Structures are given as structure tokens and as C-alpha cells.
């Protein structure tokens, strides 16, 4: 059943010709008849190799500006015919259709055309019809035909025919068929997601995969599906782990809130910010971010919204950290940071981040629009007699940005655009507040004049009372509880200001 089949003919029609020449040369040396079309035919002729135009096979020209070239029974019959089926063989003879044993076809670069910002007309012209039909036909008939559907498969295919003089096994053909259907499925998904505007459905596909050392824990397998190179340039260090990637994702989304601000530095651990500060210089921003929780910073992920210079790098180098991310680095800074061989150094490219999120749940997938709403002065209302000062308002909005990217239930304490502490992932908002106050006190922060942000409303006045006793006099929260007035009354009685944003920012 797995006996090798020797090829006698091949159809080659590709968009990407890099790496194709040695395959064509080998097929020619093996005496395999080559059929081709358009630019590929010209490419093969320029190599001085005999090639039969598909038009000569079909007795029909390429029409409609090249939209129809290979869609013909003399092409598809030769690919789909079952070699051991007497009726199929008889019909091939009757209609003078040659068997085609090798199909080397790729697809128009639809996704790249979309990303390039091309017009809709140009994008639509990159929806491949003939190519994807040839791929599906050849992959379906893998018992007799091998389908090479991507330039990434050229090296493996060349090695096979080089070692076997053009023979392939059923196992090899089936493996290439699986790859072909993966490519066609991914291609159709990309087209659907481009065209679909209103149908609620879930279609995702990634054609690149990285095998991770392990998953969340060493006994779990882990993989990353996606193209990290489109988002980062990796300059140094070991491979990113599963947990690294989760922290990097959290870091990238958090720093996006401060993208166009003055120098801002954040340190994250287990997807939460344990330090964040905004200052006149990046070095000071880093030092003040580190002061927020120097214990948790150990082994963390560091991210900056500005180029990292030598002074900042010298301070970072004193800390053991897994990952450093920035839009750029000076030459001197990079040399300093490379002093730790395993430290991962990334340049974040300026590309748009996804606007949707999904995760597995039970036997399905939860899908939602990303929380892209950022609280600012235009959406807030003051609910108390006291108005926050301008300085307090700046800190409140700063704290709200951090709060949005912290695991719920959370309370965030900020003073002078520095994260003093946060309570993260607590089952009670009171617990989150007590945790944040305890941490801030432990790291010697004076909370008099600090502000408090909450990701959700207060159903009771206990949180504003605890905050008041700690010296906090300004609060930002979504509002919306049927008992909002209890917290408002406490603030009014104790000369605290509290503003409502109208937007909850749960993060689970």
C-alpha cells in the first residue's frame, strides 16, 4: 500500500519563485514532463528547460485577464484521475488527457495585500481561484498525486525527489495533502474575515506555529500560533516561554495607554503591573516604577514607551528580569542589556493590535470586543461636593488606566503619577484595598494625598472609609450601584472627592 510511485509529469504555477529553480532543474534531470502557465512558464523557459504551456494542453487560451487559465477538464482530469480505476484510465485515453503526478502551486498573497492598505479592487484580485482549486484537487487525490502548496515546502520536496529519483510514498503524499488543506483552510478564513462585517461567527486560523519549552507548567505541552516577528524584533536572549508571552501581552496592552505620553516605564509580574511611573526622564521613570514593588520586579517583564538609553539600561542591568521591551535602544544601552545572556530584548514594532479577544471556555470559545475604552476627562462626572484638584485628577486618570489592565477585583493606589500599590485578583474589593494599603505601607509610601481607582462600583461605603483612614482623599470608580449614595454621603461628610466614569473595567 505504501509502495513508492514514480512521477512522470508535473504542473507548476506559482506566485513565489524563490527556491523554485533547483526543483525545476531536478525534475528536468529526471525526465519529468513539465506543464506551466504565465510567469512561471516564462521563468522555466529562461532556465533553458523545456516546458509545455497549459494552453497547448487545453487548446484554450488564458482569458479574462488571467482569471481563467487552468480551470479545464484536461488539467483537472489529469490530477483527479484514479490510476487504479479502469473507467478513469479509459476516459483519460478517450479524451487524450495526460496524468499529472506532481502539482506545485501556491496562492496569491491575499493577507499581505490586505495589510498593505491596497484598494478593495486590488484585494479582490488577490483571491485565488485556479490555484486553490488545483491544490484541493491534488490534495484530494493524494493516493496518486503529491501537492506542494507553499514555498516553505520546497526544501523538503526537493530532498525527497533528489533521494528517490522522483518517487514518493503514500505517507509522504498524505502528509503534503494535509499541509495543503491547512493552507487552503487558512486562506479561506482570511478572505471570510476580510469580507465579513456583520455575521456573528468565529473563524480564526494561523499558519505559523512555535513549539514552546512547555506550557504554563513543565508537565504541560505548549505552542504559540501566530507571527511574533510582525510585532517584535528579537535582539537577544533565550526563547520566549508560555508565561513570558502572557506577561508580554499584558505589558504591550498596558503601555499602549501611555504610548504618546512623557517617559513611562512599567514592570509586570503574572500579567499585572507591580510598578509603573511617569517622569521627565526614562531613568527616573524606571527607578520609581521599581520602587513600587522591588520584590515582585525580580524575574518580571519590563516595558518602556520611549527609547532606552545607557543610563536607564545601567539601572535595569542591576535587576534580574526575563524580558525588556521598548520601541528602540541606543547602541550603548543594547550592549549593557546584552550582558545577561538569557535576558530577552525586544523592539516593539508600531503596528495595530487586535481589536478582539477570545479564549476557550467549557467546550467552546468566548469571544468579545477588546476593552479599548480609556477613561478621560471628557467622560467623568463628579459625584461629590468636593472637586478633585487638577493634580488629583491627573493621578486619578493615570490610576484608572492601570486599573483597567489589572486582574479583578482590583484597587490601584497612585501618587504623583507613580503606582504605589495595587490589590489584584481578589474575591472581595475590600480585600483588594487592604492588600494595596498593606503593600504601599510595606514599601514606605506615604498615602496622604494619594488617589484610589477601582475597576467596579462600591456597593457599600466600606472602601471609601478604609481609603479615607489611610489618607486617600480622591477616588475614581465606574459608579452604577443602587447604593452609590452611601459612598457619596461618606465622601461628602469627610471632604473626599469622588468621580464616576460610567464604565466598568473588569479583567478576568
Which residue in 17, 140, 174, 236 is the catalytic one?
140
Q: Are strands 451-454 and 411-414 parallel, antiparallel or unpaired?
A: antiparallel
Half-sphere exposure of 13 (CA within 13 A, CB side): 26
Distances (CA, A) of 83 to 11, 71, 91, 170: 17, 21, 11, 14
Residues 107, 187 contacting (CB under 8 angstroms): yes
pLDDT tens per residue across all 508 residues of the chain: 567 889 999 999 998 899 999 999 999 999 999 999 888 999 999 999 999 998 888 877 777 777 777 778 888 999 999 988 899 889 989 988 999 999 999 998 888 898 888 999 999 988 888 889 999 999 999 999 999 999 999 999 999 999 999 999 999 999 999 999 999 999 999 998 888 887 778 888 887 888 999 999 999 999 999 989 989 999 999 999 999 999 999 999 999 999 999 999 999 999 999 999 999 999 999 999 999 999 999 999 999 999 999 999 999 999 999 999 999 999 999 999 999 999 999 999 988 888 889 999 999 989 998 999 999 999 999 999 999 999 999 999 999 999 999 999 999 999 999 999 999 999 999 999 999 999 999 999 999 999 999 999 999 999 999 999 999 999 999 999 999 999 999 999 999 999 999 999 999 9
Residues 502, 476 contacting (CB under 8 angstroms): no
Backbone dihedral region for residue 472 (phi beyond 0: left; psi -120 to 50: alpha; all else: beta): beta
Reported as type and span, the H/E element at residue 10 is strand 9-13
Q: Are strands 209-211 and 223-225 parallel, antiparallel or unpaired?
A: antiparallel
Distances (CA, A) of 269 to 275, 276, 281, 320: 9, 12, 23, 13
3-state secondary structure 204-228: CCCCCEEECCCCCCCCCCCEEECCH
What is d(CA 342, CA 123) in angstroms, rounded to the nearest whole number? 42
Whether 140 is a known active-site residue: answer yes
What is d(CA 481, CA 460) in angstroms, rounded to the nearest whole number? 9
pLDDT at 325: 98
What is d(CA 395, CA 150) in angstroms, rounded to the nearest whole number? 53
Nearest-5° Cα angle at 302, 419 to 337: 135
What is d(CA 258, CA 348) in angstroms, rounded to the nearest whole number? 14
What is d(CA 215, CA 330) in angstroms, rounded to the nearest whole number? 34
- The 10 Å CB-count burial string (b at 16+, else e) for 332-370 is ebbebbbebeebbbbbbeeeeeeeeeeeeeeeeeeeeee
Q: Strand order in 321-326's β-sheet?
A: 232-236, 344-348, 321-326, 300-304, 264-269, 272-278
pLDDT at 2: 63
Reported as type and span, the H/E element at residue 27 is helix 21-29
What is the DSSP-derived secondary structure letter of residue 386?
Answer: B
What is d(CA 292, CA 311) in angstroms, rounded to the nearest whole number? 20
Half-sphere exposure of 164 (CA within 13 A, CB side): 16
Q: Are strands 146-148 and 102-105 parallel, antiparallel or unpaired?
A: parallel
Q: Are strands 5-6 and 167-168 parallel, antiparallel or unpaired?
A: antiparallel
pLDDT at 351: 84
pLDDT at 452: 98
What is d(CA 480, CA 459) in angstroms, rounded to the nearest whole number? 9
Residues 44, 51 contacting (CB under 8 angstroms): yes
In a 3-state reduction of DSSP, which class is residue 329?
strand
Residues 421, 436 contacting (CB under 8 angstroms): yes
Residue ranges with strand state E in 106-218: 146-148, 167-168, 209-211
pLDDT at 232: 95
pLDDT at 223: 95
Reported as type and span, the H/E element at residue 476 is strand 474-477
Reported as type and span, the H/E element at residue 185 is helix 170-195
Which residue in 16, 143, 270, 338 is the catalytic one?
270
Distances (CA, A) of 484 to 160, 456, 490, 499: 72, 12, 10, 11
Amino acid at each position: 500500500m505504501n509502495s513508492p510511485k514514480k512521477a512522470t509529469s508535473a504542473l507548476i504555477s506559482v506566485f513565489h519563485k524563490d527556491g523554485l529553480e533547483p526543483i525545476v532543474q531536478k525534475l528536468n534531470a529526471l525526465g519529468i514532463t513539465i506543464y506551466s502557465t504565465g510567469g512561471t512558464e516564462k521563468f522555466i523557459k529562461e532556465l533553458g528547460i523545456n516546458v509545455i504551456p497549459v494552453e497547448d494542453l487545453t487548446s484554450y487560451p488564458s482569458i479574462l485577464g488571467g482569471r481563467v487559465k487552468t480551470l479545464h477538464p484536461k488539467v483537472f482530469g489529469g490530477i483527479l484521475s484514479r490510476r487504479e480505476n479502469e473507467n478513469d484510465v479509459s476516459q483519460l485515453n478517450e479524451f487524450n488527457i495526460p496524468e499529472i503526478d506532481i502539482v506545485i502551486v501556491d496562492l496569491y498573497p491575499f493577507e499581505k495585500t490586505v495589510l498593505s492598505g491596497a484598494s478593495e479592487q486590488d484585494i479582490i484580485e488577490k483571491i485565488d481561484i485556479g490555484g486553490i482549486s488545483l491544490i484541493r484537487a491534488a490534495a484530494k487525490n493524494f493516493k496518486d498525486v503529491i501537492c506542494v502548496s507553499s514555498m516553505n515546502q520546497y526544501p523538503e520536496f526537493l530532498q525527497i525527489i533528489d533521494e528517490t529519483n522522483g518517487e514518493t510514498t503514500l505517507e509522504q503524499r498524505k502528509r503534503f495533502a494535509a499541509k495543503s488543506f491547512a493552507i487552503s483552510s487558512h486562506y479561506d478564513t482570511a478572505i471570510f474575515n476580510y469580507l465579513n462585517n456583520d455575521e456573528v461567527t468565529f473563524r480564526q486560523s494561523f499558519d505559523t506555529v512555535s513549539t514552546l519549552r512547555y506550557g504554563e507548567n513543565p508537565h504541560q505541552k505548549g505552542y504559540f500560533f501566530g507571527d511574533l516577528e510582525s510585532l517584535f524584533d528579537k535582539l537577544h536572549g533565550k526563547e520566549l516561554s508560555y508565561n513570558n508571552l502572557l506577561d508580554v501581552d499584558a505589558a504591550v496592552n498596558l503601555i499602549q495607554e501611555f504610548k504618546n505620553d512623557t517617559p513611562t516605564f512599567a514592570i509586570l509580574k503574572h500579567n499585572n503591573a507591580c510598578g509603573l511611573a511617569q517622569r521627565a526622564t526614562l531613568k527616573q521613570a524606571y527607578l520609581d516604577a521599581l520602587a513600587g514593588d522591588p520584590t515582585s520586579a525580580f524575574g518580571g517583564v519590563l516595558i518602556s514607551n520611549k527609547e532606552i538609553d545607557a543610563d536607564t539600561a545601567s539601572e535595569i542591568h542591576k535587576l534580574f528580569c526575563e524580558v525588556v521591551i521598548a520601541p528602540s535602544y541606543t547602541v550603548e544601552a543594547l550592549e549593557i542589556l546584552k550582558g545577561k545572556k538569557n535576558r530577552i530584548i525586544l523592539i516593539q514594532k508600531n503596528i495595530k493590535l487586535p481589536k478582539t479577544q477570545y479564549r476557550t471556555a467549557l467546550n467552546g470559545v468566548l469571544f468579545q470586543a477588546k476593552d479599548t475604552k480609556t477613561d478621560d476627562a471628557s467622560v467623568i462626572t463628579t459625584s461629590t461636593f468636593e472637586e478633585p484638584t487638577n493634580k488629583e485628577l491627573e493621578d486619578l486618570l493615570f490610576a484608572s488606566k492601570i486599573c483597567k489592565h489589572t486582574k479583578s477585583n482590583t484597587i490601584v493606589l497612585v501618587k504623583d503619577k507613580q503606582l504605589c500599590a495595587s490589590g489584584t485578583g481578589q474575591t472581595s474589593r475590600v480585600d483588594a484595598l487592604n492588600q494595596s494599603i498593606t503593600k504601599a505601607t510595606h514599601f514606605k509610601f506615604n498615602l496622604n494625598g494619594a488617589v484610589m481607582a477601582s475597576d467596579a462600583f462600591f456597593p457599600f461605603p466600606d472602601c471609601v472609609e478604609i481609603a479615607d483612614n489611610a489618607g486617600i482623599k480622591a477616588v475614581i470608580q465606574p459608579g452604577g450601584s443602587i447604593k452609590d449614595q452611601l459612598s457619596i454621603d461618606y465622601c461628602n461628610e469627610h471632604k473626599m472627592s469622588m468621580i464616576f466614569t460610567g464604565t466598568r473595567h473588569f479583567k478576568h
